[in-house]
Amino acid sequence: MSYLLPHLHSGWAVDQAILAEEERLVIIRFGHDWDETCMQMDEVLAAVAETIKNFAVIYLVDITEVSDFNTMYELYDHQQ
CA distance linking residue 32 with residue 70, whole number of Å: 12
> In sequence order, which ranges of 1-80 are alpha helices (DSSP H)?
11-20, 36-52
SS3 29: strand
pLDDT of residue 21: 96
Per-residue model confidence (pLDDT) at position 12: 94
CB 2 within 8 A of CB 33: yes
Q: What is the pLDDT along the chain (80 residues), one digit of tens a residue?
A: 567 899 999 999 999 999 999 999 999 999 999 999 999 999 999 999 999 999 999 999 999 898 888 777 676 665 54
Burial 45-70, CB ≥16 within 10 A → b, else e: bbeebeeeeeebbbbbbbbeebeebe
For the chain, domains (ranges, CATH) are 2-62 (3.40.30.10)
pLDDT, position 79:
55
Which pLDDT score, from 0 to 100, does residue 52 have? Answer: 98
